[in-house]
Amino acid sequence: MVSRRAFGAGALALTVASGAAASGRPPGVVEPGLWVKGAGGGARTVAVTLDACPGWFDPRIADVLVEKRIPATIFITAVWMRWNPKGLAYFLARPDIFTLENHGALHLPPVLGDARVYGLAPAGTVEAIRAEVLDGAAAVEKVTGRRPRWYRGAAGLYSPAAIPVIEALGFKVAGYSLNADAGASLPPAMVARRLEAAKDGDVTEGHINQPRRASGAGIAAGLVALQAAGVRFVGLDEAMAG
Ligand SMILES: [Zn+2]
Contacts of 10 (CB under 8 A, 6+ apart): 34, 35, 36, 37, 236, 238, 239, 240, 241, 242
Residue 129 lies in a domain: yes
Instruction: Tell me which amino acid residue 6 is.
Output: A
Residue 16 lies in a domain: no
Specify the pTM: 0.90
Distance 76 CA to ligand 1 centre (A): 8
What mean pLDDT comes out for the span 212-236? Answer: 98
Residue 75 lies in a domain: yes
Distance 73 CA to ligand 1 centre (A): 13
Distance 51 CA to ligand 1 centre (A): 6
Domain count, the chain: 1
Residue 57 lies in a domain: yes
Residue 37 lies in a domain: yes
What is the CATH classification number for the domain harbouring 157?
3.20.20.370
Residue 85 lies in a domain: yes
Q: Give pLDDT tens digits for 231-241.
A: 999 999 877 54
Residue 231 lies in a domain: yes
Q: Give pLDDT tens digits for 153-201.
A: 999 999 999 999 999 999 999 999 999 999 999 999 999 999 999 999 9
Residue 23 lies in a domain: no
The alpha carbon torsion through 113, 115, 120, 125 (nearest 10 deg) reads 0
Distance 174 CA to ligand 1 centre (A): 12
The span from the CA of 177 to the CA of 1, in Å, is 9
Residues lying with their CB under 5 A of ligand 1, a single-atom ion: 51, 53, 154
Distance 32 CA to ligand 1 centre (A): 15
Q: Which domain holds residue 153?
A: 28-241
76, pLDDT greater than 50: yes
